[in-house]
Amino acid sequence: MPTVTGTDDVFGEVAEKFEFLENFARGYFKRLGFEEVRTPIIEYSWVFRKTLGDSSEIVMHQMYSFEDKDGKEVVLRPEGTAAAVRFYIEKIQSAKPRAKLFYIGPMFRRERPQKGRYRQFHQIGCEMFGFDSPESDAYIIFILSEFFRNIGVQHKIEVNSVGCPTCRPRYSSALKEFFEAKTLCEDCQKRKERNPLRILDCKKDIEVVKDAPNILDFLCQKCKSHFELVLNNLKNFGVKFEINPKIVRGLDYYTGTVFEVFSTKFSNAIAAGGRYDLLVEFMGGHPTPALGFAIGVERTVDLLELSSERNRLGLFICYTSEGKQKAFDFFTRVVVSLNLISAGKGGTSHVGEIREHIVKRFDISVEGTKSLKSQVRYADSQNFRFIAIIGKNEIEKGVITFRDLQNSYQFEMKEDELLF
């Protein structure tokens, strides 16, 4: 029973990495003043058609769209920015023009799956609205870089400026003119007409592209000085980066600063973003500068190395037939007073330690008719730190045996000693 092409069940170690990444991102971005927004996974299709560009690959071929029963066309969101902008205009803008938002969630694109690319994938994205300063560009690149540094992912950052509606067309036509005389691969022939900037990305025409005009030489005065200030501020933040004039974002809405984050391990960008000063207005809001980025969760998870030693946690109760009733009594007694246990401190070091672990994880064997051995083996395989053993001996002596599976020693304790 396979899952839908390009989707997968996330479980075990990978699920732990997802959890770690999402938890870290929430804490990190909240601390930096970003607020989480959970926009719907389905949106009316105009949200993306309008913003990504009707001729973009995503809109043309990759969106999961369908007609709802009321005849409205609905899509599974292919990216997060457009939805965040829609939300900002609708619910935030009139109350406070400046806003810092972040989101975490699944996106959908019907592409052919391959390494680091899935049809359902997850992004962690940040968007800043109402900020036009070059400091804000540098800031958002800085926090992105720090994000990866904090989770121990080696990376490098490349930045560029794609200009604005006054300078980009000039560059476009210069490029077109330059390539006119050259022989290009089949794909690039089409790109020349549709979006000449894309030719810079081509893997076949590398030789031809090498001498192509540089976009940075074509920036208008405003874009040029902004970009220079961004670079200066990046230095102020101490961010290591490279300028790569060949970076072209696939989404039409970018203006000015754009950037991509590459892992040193594989060629895909693990995060990318940039400025999109015209998008809010374009979608019907008041003119508002904005910028943001999205982090590819699956791609990042691939690079995560969690501390390999998974800690043993918790207490697991094992018992024999003679101890069954007492084991169940102990279990229920602990479960009903779990909040007291977490509040309670003190006792011997053993008591404190056992209590600590009970709070984290606590369970009882429901296979008490099996041998004690197999119950202990189960506890071990489930990575419990302690087991409690309740059998004939314990009943007779009025105690419970505790065994530390990590350090291989055991001791006896009275139940009341632990719980009161």
Q: How far is the CB of 318 from RNA (least distance, A)?
A: 8
As a whole number of angstroms, the distance between CA 177 and CA 196 comes to 10
Q: Which is nearer to RNA, 285 or 391 (CB)?
A: 391
Question: Is 371 among the residues that bind RNA (CB under 7 A)?
Answer: yes
Number of residues that bind RNA (CB under 7 A): 68
> Which lies closer to RNA via its Cβ, residue 93 or residue 128?
128
CA dihedral of residues 204, 207, 211, 217 (deg, nearest 10): 30
Q: Would you count residue 2 as binding RNA (CB under 7 A)? A: yes
Instruction: Give whichever of 282 and 337 is closer to RNA, judged by the CB atom.
Output: 282
Interactions with RNA, residue window 377-406 (CB under 7 A) = 377-378, 380-381, 387, 389, 391-395, 401, 403, 405-406
User: Does 113 interact with RNA (rule: CB under 7 A)?
Assistant: yes
Alpha helices in 344-419 (DSSP H): 349-360, 372-381, 392-397, 415-419
E strand intervals along 77-162: 99-108, 120-129, 155-161
Q: In what order do the strands lie in the sheet with 315-319?
A: 362-364, 315-319, 386-390, 400-404, 409-413
Site track 9-48 with RNA (rule: CB under 7 A), x = hit: ----------------------------------------
User: In the bound complex, what is the minimum distance in angstroms from residue 367's beta carbon to RNA?
Assistant: 7
Which region among 142-150, 166-174, 262-270, 324-332 touches RNA (by CB under 7 A)? 262-270
Question: Using CB under 7 A, which of 130, 134, 163, 296 touches RNA?
Answer: 296
Does 112 bind RNA (CB under 7 A)? Our answer is yes
Among 16, 22, 43, 57, interactor with RNA by CB under 7 A: 57
| In contact, 302 and 372? CB cutoff 8 Å | no
Which secondary-structure segment (H or E) carries 15?
helix 12-31
Q: How many alpha carbons lie under 13 Å from residue 409 in its C-beta half-sphere?
A: 3
Handedness of CA 68, 72, 77, 78 (dihedral sign): positive
State the binding string over 178-217 for RNA (x if CB under 7 A, else -).
---------x---x------x--xxxx-------------
Q: Which lies closer to RNA via its Cβ, residue 2 or residue 33?
A: 2
Pairing mode, strands 73-76 and 409-413: unpaired
DSSP 181-230: TS---HHHHHHHHH-GGGGGG-SS-HHHHHTSPPGGGT--HHHHHHHHHH
Angle at CA 67, nearest 5°, toward 63 and 73?
65
User: Which positions lie near RNA, rule CB under 7 A?
Assistant: 2-3, 5-6, 56-58, 62, 79, 109, 111-118, 121, 123, 187, 191, 198, 201-204, 249-251, 260, 267-272, 294-296, 298-299, 320, 322-323, 370-374, 376-378, 380-381, 387, 389, 391-395, 401, 403, 405-406, 408, 410
